[in-house]
Structure 1
Amino acid sequence: YLMNGNKKFLAMAVLCAVASVGFVLPAAAEETMTHDLDEVIVEADKDALPGGYVKTKGNVGILGTKDVMDVPYTQMNFTKQNIEDFGGPNQALDNVLVNMPSVRQTGTMLHGDFSVRGKSTNGSFFYLNGVPGMLGQFMVPAFAAESIEITAGPNKAISGSFPAGEGTGVAAVVNMTTAKAPDVPVTRYRQIFSGKSGFGEALDVGRRFGKNNEWGIRVNAEFMNGNPTHYKSDKNSQSFFANIDHQDDKSKTNFLIGYQYYEVEDGMRWFGLDAASIKAGKLTHLPSAPNSKNNYSFPGMDKVHEGTIMVLNHEQKLNDSWKVFFNGGWTHSNLKKNITGLSSKLTITNDDGTYAGRYFTRRTPSHKYYGQIGVNGEFKTGTVKHNLVLAADKSWSKSWTGVVGGTGLTNFTGLGGNIFTGVDPNESVTIPDFENYHSSSARFWGVSLMDTMELGKSQLLLGIHKHNATSTSYSDPSKGAVKATSVKSDATCPAFGFVYQPDKNIALYASHSEFFDSGERVSENKDNNNLYYENKGDIMSPSKAKSNEIGVKYENKGFLATLAFFQNKEANNITVYNNDFTKKWYTQDGENEYKGIELSVNGRLNDKWNIMGGLMYLDATRTRTEKGTYDGYSVAGIPKWTGVATLQYNPDKDWSIIGRAVYVGSTPIFPASNDIKWTVPSYVTYDLGVKYKTKFNSTPVTLSAMCYNITGKDYWIAYGSGLHLSSPRTLMLSATFDI
């Protein structure tokens, strides 16, 4: 249900009362409680490292579930506990994913973006139970997840075809596995309070039944309402997921169905830098970051998304060595309302912090379908053991764009203010009626063949993926005759991997992988300077991304470390202007090359201390540009150094104290042209939390408090050549009841 004002007050009072239990309860009251939790059954992951945040096993695309020591790539598998402790209604999902050092936060409540090894991506490119394209940019139902697995680097051979989405999505293979019913029944209720007035509640129920518990159902529901932050915003969401599974000696089946509704009013945090003002000398430097509690939202700003998802996985044994499998998915997604600043941002035009903007209003429905069928078998040739996977898949996608009143995509009412004082309170927007036109469609099909060969202490992975795609872009009919631009493309993407384990604790590995991009559609939207791309509606030339990696992994006594050296390459898509900034084009020019070193450590330090985190150095430069004009230039929005360090202290079995520091080094941006380089300052943020397990009467309760950005630091987050403003200090409280 959704809480009204009285219910909010009552819920807050109950939550505060519950949160105080075990913290400030007098001795007399404590006699009604027990701290002996030996009989409490806790749902735990047997593959989780000490601390409970990272698993040693996870999904690796069509290769299935593998131990991290057998994977020739950098991989991190986040547990449900990690998602619950670091996620929340006031945090984008990247607040969980940043616990992997190659991930950098670039998201907000409005945009679920993040980057992996310098390449931007978002929830649109997640896999859901191994099926791609079912989720959205800011619609990832992490509350229903059992784990999130990240395999760094582009890899078509293990990921298969992909329904089209925003951007190219070649950063990594990111899979979300939904929770199944455990062997022990679970009935869990969680209530959350955060920010100014953000209330949330979640229900998690799981049961197994049948003669041998072969059937299972896990139901997760989440409701959010209010302002979960300390800047102006309001969040309202209702989500429901049911996971039904069946398993016996010969087959495994999993069916997921879900519905999501998500609305955020206000919440503007994204800024651009006006190229024309820089050219004219009005904007000469990057203004310092303003107070992150400031309001930059205009009356009427609203983003509403609704979607339905179904995913089916089936595996059937043919005999002791061979099995066939099917993975399929269907989603209807509708960004029903998107009333925000043009390009989702405001544009700074002056050194004193003046900004301007234009309203942007549209909606974006989309339909996506995916099907994959394959066979997996084990056999030997001499002394070599083979694990062979052959899979074919096909995906379809179709998208529409809402037109404002049938006359264009933009409401040209001006929007202005100052970053240091906030939005002009007199600004407002008239919300028009929406009409839709078909904007794009795509069809993809592919075949993957993978063979993992094992001989003694060595494993050799050989794979290949053949891919064909057809991408079609349609013009806005309100601007004249409908124009269709269609591009057909195909590519062959090989994958190689080698793992050598001299003993059970050490694995040396090397790999090569590739990803095929079917071509990005050039936006038809004007920018805040009233400019279209001169090549609007075109589809960029398809291109490949390639990755090479070598590394070493060490696992012993609950501790796991990975050291990786990597090199990724991809086509460089950039915006270029004419001399007086009156025209612009979106074009490909050369390659972006990402070279780096990544170190991650996870697990036990000693009996009471656990660690999670690491460090990454990344050199991202442009190469092979036309006539070498921009060779050696930095890629915008990518710092050379990033790092994360989390310490968990468990003084006893009931208490857990969590501290985390996230570091992002100084970051180059190119706000006007490739010849003008500015630097976004480095920053460090700190989070601090505490959890306490107890009983209220006979009911096990986990009380949790987490403070994000505990020092209240204000800072800019570089995103390409744009900026996000940081979120202020925010407290989240929760109480979880195992009924």
Structure 2
Amino acid sequence: MMKNKKALVMSVLCAVASVGFVMSASAAEQTMHGNLDEVVVEGRADVLPGGMASKETSMGILGNKDVMDVPFQTTTLTEKTITTFGGPNQPLQSVLINNPAVRSVGTTLHNDFSIRGLKSTGSSLYVNGIPGLMTQFWAPSYIAEDIQFISGPNSGISGLPSSYETSSAGGIVNFVSKKATDNDINRYKQTFSGKSSFGEYIDIGRRFGENKEWGVRINTEWLDGKTAIDNHDMEAQGIFANIDHKDDNSKSNLLMGYRHLNIEGGARWFTLKNANGKPVSDITKVPSAPDAGKNYGIPGLAKEAEGYIFALNHEQKFADGWKWFANAGYNYNKLNRNIIGASSNFTIINDKGDIANNLMSTQTVTKNYYAQLGINGQFKTGDLEHDVTLAADKAWHSIKGAKDMYKDGSMGSVAGNLYNGIYGVGVWFPKIEPGLSSKDQYWGISLADTVKYNKAQLLLGVHKHAASVDSYNKKTEKVTGHVDSNAVCPTYGFVYQPDEHVSMYASHSENFDKGSVVSGTYENSGEILDPAKTKQNEFGVKYENAGFVTSLGVFDITQSNNIVVHRDGYSKDFFLQDGEAKYKGIELSVNGKLAPKWNVMGGFMYLDAEQHKTARGTNDGKAVNGVARWNAVAALEYQADDNFSVIGRGVYVGKADIFNESLQVPSHMTYDLGVNYKTKINATPVTFSAMCYNLTDKNYWDAHTGNGLILSNPRTFMLSAQFDL
């Protein structure tokens, strides 16, 4: 069945390619004299000089805003940045870490990252402002025109959470899909990376109608071959179509697509054997990072998924200064295979780097539905200008998991050593059948008003949220538990602009997770715990001049969590929402033109993350596990002329404590270097690119949020040729 689906996808891709080249032949005469790369990216008024970042970002229900009008730290990465640092075999995090608030804590198997020290995954991403359309494993960056960030918790403007499995408390990450431009796009790109990984990408864009009110943009992907990691194969096929319509009174956009992704091998996530949250006596240090070029898996370990997404956005003017809007989305994703170490990682049991781990095989099927309806209007009350938005949204989420979760040795185990190799013991691969695990429903209503007076702006917002969660026995598919919860999250922000170049701001924002029910192992069994809240206070200053934007923000985040609490006189412990972690930090970002021919993007973040109100006070005052104090990134491009450029990037991650300061993950610094050259072949504009990721081939650990370790990727070369026909 899977082979038939793959064959169908390949046939569709080939058909699209054929259509694209037929269209290209007639359009070549008009396009060969211009540089489409420059027109599409740098021709946008919101893009800063150099084309790596934009000064416009999405503010959720408030719509797109200029960065100087936003009372939070924001970053928007453009298609140029996504293409430069998002190589075919590079994990999504390779792009995201261009935001100094983001740190990589994942691999190609897991699109995990942290924002301001708080973990997020691919599941927490938004697409065109719609939550729940991506997964931890499935996040195709090649369809994105921009990736927009707002640092910090922000339910007040984002509405319902982007994920019903993981938190997006660290910030909002929104993918904006590519749309047709006023210039026809007929683009074909070939890539080579790793050891034998070949990729083909087709990008076609057209506008139609008397006033070009209709637009169609089609993007396809075909990728196959070995990465820079030994015996690590990656295979992907995808096709996405974006259809948009705009006129004087309305705007509509429909994104729909399919992607299949299969990865053989490539395990990079490890944990250290522990007892009661502490490393066992055989572990006295974090072992030195092994050779990142080796494959830390055994034959048969794989992850394979396929899925569909639909995202619809529409807004309609109905009176002067007033419009209504609607957003809707659907995601279906099936994780066909997930064969890996138990808990998705391998366990290091001593200082020698020996491995002892059971294997796990599972399968999941997820479905997400989302709908939002709202109204927005601008009006005046005296000298005050109001921009008011009222929106209601609802989301449905269901997940099927393996009826029989094969782990704990029932399908074999792995053994061996980090430095000498890993092998399987008694391995067999069982047939997996999924059964219903949970169904969730969420309702939300949001109200926000941006009040302007002269040089000042005041944002007042509130979001009310309710959740209903049913859990099921996967074998019988009967309800085993039900939890109802609700919460209110306010958002306040103030911006003052003394002149056109400076913006000073202060804000308060919040986020929350769904409620939970206490299990039978505790004294308060059956009690429903409120949604855990994350609250942030932030103030800062932004400066913009001559195509250069820099911003500095100081923030204080408090995150509630559930912990075990002992009370005298009771035979069992209590499980209460009585824990707390605090994240205090400084975030600086810079983007734009540094000097003639020199473009820059990057910044740094200092983060002091401490545990408070821990169980029995044992770890009060200690560092939050896996959170580095320092994080910095700097990308510098030298644009010699219109045809040749050199770009380099340095990424620094400071040391991080794990196991409540018992062990420490060392700091590391990595470098990337690339060149771009534009020319013509038979009057066809061609862009040749070469990129080297992890230039010095450094082996290092990234501290996973918590007590895990993520092994680096080895030095990886990527070559590409892009033809604009």
Same fold, TM-score > 0.5, yes or no: yes
Provide the C-alpha distance between the structure 1 equivalents of 2:670 and 2:517, rounded to a whole number of angstroms. 36
- Given residue 396 of structure 1, which amino acid in structure 2 is its aligned partner? W
Equivalent position to 1:515, from 489, 504, 511:
511
Conserved in 2, the CA contact under 8 Å of 1:361 and 1:411? no
8 A Cα contact 2:411 2:429, kept in partner = no
CA distance, structure 1, for counterparts of residue 526 and residue 204 of structure 2 = 47
**How far is 1:287 from its partner?**
1.0
* Deviation for aligned residue 1:139: 1.2
Structure 2 CA distance for partners of 1:367 and 1:584, relative to 1, 3 Å: farther
User: Within the alignment, does 1:398 sit opposite 2:398 as a pair?
Assistant: yes
Offset at residue 169 of structure 1 (A) = 2.1
CA contact (8 A) 1:131 1:327 kept: yes
1:725 corresponding residue in structure 2: 711
Match of 2:122 in 1: 123
CA pair 314-428 structure 1, distance change in 2 beyond 3 A: farther
Question: Given that residues 164 and 442 in structure 1 are in contact (C-alpha distance below 8 angstroms), is that contact kept between their aligned partners in structure 2?
Answer: no
Q: CA deviation at 1:693?
A: 0.8
Q: What RMSD, in angstroms, separates the aligned Cα atoms of the two structures?
A: 2.8
Q: Does the 8 A contact of 2:284 with 2:663 survive in 1?
A: no
Instruction: Give the Cα–Cα distance (whole angstroms) in 2 for the partners of residues 39 and 296 of structure 1.
Output: 42
Q: Any unmatched runs of 5+ in structure 2?
A: 11-31, 567-571
- CA positional deviation for 1:458: 0.4
Match status 1:485 vs 2:470:
no
Report the secondary structure of 1:84's partner residue.
helix
User: What amino acid is the match of 2:435?
Assistant: Y
3-state secondary structure, aligned to 2:415: strand
Q: Please list every run of 5 or more consecutive structure 1 residues that lacks an aligned counterpart in the other structure.
A: 8-34, 525-531, 578-582
Determine helix, strand or coil for the equivalent of 2:40.
Answer: coil
**Aligned-residue identity in percent:** 49
Give 1:439's aligned amino acid.
S
**Where does residue 440 of structure 1 map in the other structure?**
438
Shift in CA distance, 38/448, structure 1 to aligned 2, threshold 3 Å: closer
Aligned 8 A contact 1:59 1:65 in 2: yes
Aligned to 1:737: 723
Q: What are the residue-to-residue correspondences of 1:257-656 with 2, within 5 Å?
A: 257-276=256-275, 281-404=281-404, 411-424=410-423, 427=425, 429-477=427-475, 484-519=480-515, 541-573=530-562, 589-656=578-645
Q: Per-residue deviation at 1:625?
A: 3.0
Q: Specify the SS of the correspondent of 1:96.
A: helix
Letter in 2 for 1:285: K
| CA apart distance, 1:3 | 12
Kindly provide the amino acid, as one letter, of the partner of residue 736 in structure 1: Q
Residue 726 of structure 1 aligns with an amino acid whose one-letter code is S
How far does residue 628 in structure 1 lie from its aligned partner after superposition?
3.4
Q: Secondary structure at the match of 1:82?
A: helix
Q: Give 2:94's aligned residue.
A: 95
What is the aligned partner in structure 1 of residue 700 from structure 2?
715
Equivalent residue for 1:59? 58
Deviation readout 1:73-105 (Å, 9 max, x if unpaired): 000011011100000122111111111111111
The alignment's TM-score, normalised by the length of structure 2, stands at 0.90
Corresponding residue SS for 2:82 = helix
1:693 aligns with 2:678: yes
For residue 403 of structure 2, give the secondary structure of its aligned residue in structure 1.
Answer: strand
Per-residue deviation at 1:298? 1.1
Distance apart, 1:138 and its partner CA: 2.2
Residue type of the alignment partner of 2:684 = T
C-alpha distance in 1, partners of 2:367/2:6? 32
**1:584 Cα shift?**
12
Aligned CA distance change for structure 1 residues 381 and 39 (closer, same or farther; 3 Å): closer
Answer whether contact 1:37 1:694 (CA < 8 A) is retained. Answer: no
Work out the CA distance in 2 between the residues paired with 1:81 and 1:696: 22
The residue identity in structure 1 corresponding to 2:427 is V
Q: Using the alignment, how far apart are the partners of 2:95 and 2:693 within structure 1?
A: 12
> Counterpart of 1:605 in 2: which secondary structure?
strand
| 1:200–1:225 contact (8 Å) kept in structure 2 | yes
Deviations 1:527-576, CA, capped at 9 Å, x for gaps: xxxxx999999986521111111000000001000000001111235799
User: Using the alignment, how far apart are the partners of 1:227 and 1:271 within structure 2?
Assistant: 22
SS in 2 for 1:43: helix
Corresponding position of 1:80: 79
Matched, 1:42 2:36: no
Counterpart of 2:412 in 1: which secondary structure?
Answer: strand
1:455 maps to amino acid = Y
| Partner-residue secondary structure (3-state), 1:411 | coil
**Aligned counterpart, 2:22:** none
Residues 62 and 3 of structure 1: CA distance in aligned 2, closer, same or farther (over 3 Å) = closer
Once the two structures are TM-superposed, the CA of residue 723 in structure 1 deviates from its matched residue by 0.3
CA distance in structure 2 between the aligned counterparts of 1:492 and 1:588, rounded to whole angstroms = 17
* Paired residues for 1:154-165 under 5 Å: 154-162=153-161, 164-165=163-164
Counterparts of 2:668 and 2:574, CA distance in 1: 33
1:230 positional shift: 2.9
- The reply on whether 1:177 has 2:162 as its aligned counterpart is no
Distance 2:96 2:255 in 1: 23
Shift of residue 468, structure 1, vs aligned partner:
0.6
Q: TM-score, normalised by structure 1?
A: 0.89
Q: 1:192 to 1:501 in 2, by over 3 A?
A: same
The code of the aligned residue for 1:667 comes to A
Separation in 1, partners of 2:524, 2:184? 58
Q: What SS is found at the alignment partner of 1:432?
A: coil
Cα displacement string for residues 228-259 of structure 1 (whole angstroms, at most 9, x for unaligned residues): 22333111111111000111111111111111
After superposition, what is the alpha-carbon deviation per residue over 1:582-639, rounded to whole angstroms, capped at 9, x for unaligned? x999975511110000111111111111111111100000123355332211100001
Question: How many pairs were matched up?
Answer: 690
- Compared CA separation, residues 389 and 132, structure 1 to 2 (3 A): same
Q: Corresponding residue for 2:221?
A: 222
CA contact (8 A) 1:164 1:397 kept: no
Is the contact made by 1:403 and 1:409 (CA closer than 8 Å) also made in structure 2?
A: no
Letter in 2 for 1:61: G
Contact 1:192/1:734 (CA < 8 Å) preserved in 2? Answer: yes
CA change 1:112–1:522 in 2 (3 A) is farther
Provide, for residues 671-693 of structure 1, a one-character-per-residue CA deviation record: whole Å limited to 9, x for no partner: xxx4x621000000010011111
Cα 1:536–1:58 shift into 2, 3 Å:
farther
Q: Contact (CA 8 Å) 2:434, 2:474: kept in 1 or not?
A: no
